[in-house]
Amino acid sequence: MKIIRTVAELREEVGTWRREGRTVGVVPTMGALHEGHLSLVRRALAETDRVIVTLFVNPKQFNDASDLDAYPRTEESDAQKLKPLGAHVLYAPSAAEMYPSGFQTKVSVSGVSEGLCGAGRTGHFDGVATVVSKLFLQAGADRAFFGEKDFQQLHVVRRMARDLDIPIEVVGCPTVRDADGLALSSRNERLSAGDRSNASAIAAALREAAESLAAGADITETLEAATVRLKSIPEARFEYLELRHEDDLSPVNALARPARLLAAVWLGDVRLIDNVPVAVP
Ligand code: PAF
């Protein structure tokens, strides 16, 4: 596995693959890799000939400086996890390479960026859309692989690629969970032991509410009951619980097409998000 730090070197490598007729996949990450990321890399390796994993802790998507400072930076152990899988390139540019002095552009997606995580994290999705559009253009890949855990991000990235005519297929991959149901996240490592044992209640509340909705339960009552449940998790600070259509994230009043139940809950200073599919009754 090659470690590449500049756009020029990445383009040269991808150019060689293209001349050999290879397809290219990209897995964008901010590092602190866990089994969820590795499942994306395996999927990319299964579907494309050459795989680039990007590792860049993007300052533009953090609306809170202390969250950026606390974000784990573990490049060496990330590289050790990727090598045995057979990833071809780890692309880890510096902040100066990604945003050279004089950088003034922002990519902003409206609609799907609004509400949910967009409401509580001002500027977050502009930062995501800006860096991901750059990564797509730098890598020139055929397919990009993203986890469904960040479901709104997946919509933002898809919309951005379509609207900017970036010729890449954005592939959404299922959330990977711990044995107790907690969705894997780089942030989980920052949970205290007590918060970690309470965190599985988020996934359980979502799953059970989704099952009730799919069985035809009243939407308002089910969401209210699930909200009470999330608010009663010890030490939890509830941010949102919402039912949105799976295809465009529009709010759901009646379940006539597939939906997602999405939530954000803080445990201590760690913000956890999760979502589950909701079938039409
Ligand atoms: O999901 C993430 O890790 C980040 O938001 C991403 C897509 C790598 C952009 O920085």
Judgement on whether residues 64 and 161 belong to the same structural domain of the protein: yes
- CATH number, position 269: 3.30.1300.10
- pLDDT at residue 112, as a whole number: 98
pLDDT per position as a tens digit, 153-206: 999 999 999 999 999 999 999 999 999 999 999 999 999 999 999 999 999 999
Judgement on whether residues 12 and 68 belong to the same structural domain of the protein: yes
For residue 29, is it within any domain?
Answer: yes
- pLDDT at residue 20, as a whole number: 98
What's the number of domains the chain is made of? 2
Low-confidence ranges of the chain (pLDDT < 50): none
Judgement on whether residues 272 and 227 belong to the same structural domain of the protein: yes
Judgement on whether residues 220 and 83 belong to the same structural domain of the protein: no
- pLDDT at residue 4, as a whole number: 99
Active site residue 37: yes
Judgement on whether residues 113 and 160 belong to the same structural domain of the protein: yes
Of all protein residues, the one whose alpha carbon is nearest to atom 6 of ligand 1 is: 29
Task: Give the bridge partners for 53, in sequence order.
Answer: 27, 90
For residue 178, is it within any domain?
Answer: no
Judgement on whether residues 129 and 229 belong to the same structural domain of the protein: no
Judgement on whether residues 53 and 128 belong to the same structural domain of the protein: yes
Task: Pull the structure tokens for residue 224.
Answer: 């209210």
**Cβ–Cβ < 8 Å for 258, 246:** yes
The domain of 69 spans 2-173
- CATH number, position 46: 3.40.50.620
pTM score > 0.95 for this model? Answer: yes
* Residue 146 alpha carbon to ligand 1 centre in Å: 9
For residue 179, is it within any domain?
Answer: no
- pLDDT at residue 156, as a whole number: 98
- pLDDT at residue 266, as a whole number: 97
- pLDDT at residue 275, as a whole number: 98
Judgement on whether residues 41 and 160 belong to the same structural domain of the protein: yes
Judgement on whether residues 169 and 190 belong to the same structural domain of the protein: no
pLDDT per position as a tens digit, 200-222: 999 999 999 999 999 999 999 99
Of all protein residues, the one whose alpha carbon is nearest to atom 2 of ligand 1 is: 29
Alpha-carbon dihedral 92, 160, 20, 31, rounded to 10 degrees: 20
Pocket of ligand 1 (CB under 6 A): 28-30, 58, 61, 128, 131-132, 150, 153
Of 240, 247, 231, give the one whose Cα is nearest residue 280: 247
Judgement on whether residues 106 and 218 belong to the same structural domain of the protein: no
Burial class (CB in 10 A: 0-12, 13-18, 19+), 206: buried
Of all protein residues, the one whose alpha carbon is nearest to atom 1 of ligand 1 is: 29
- pLDDT at residue 225, as a whole number: 98
- pLDDT at residue 165, as a whole number: 98
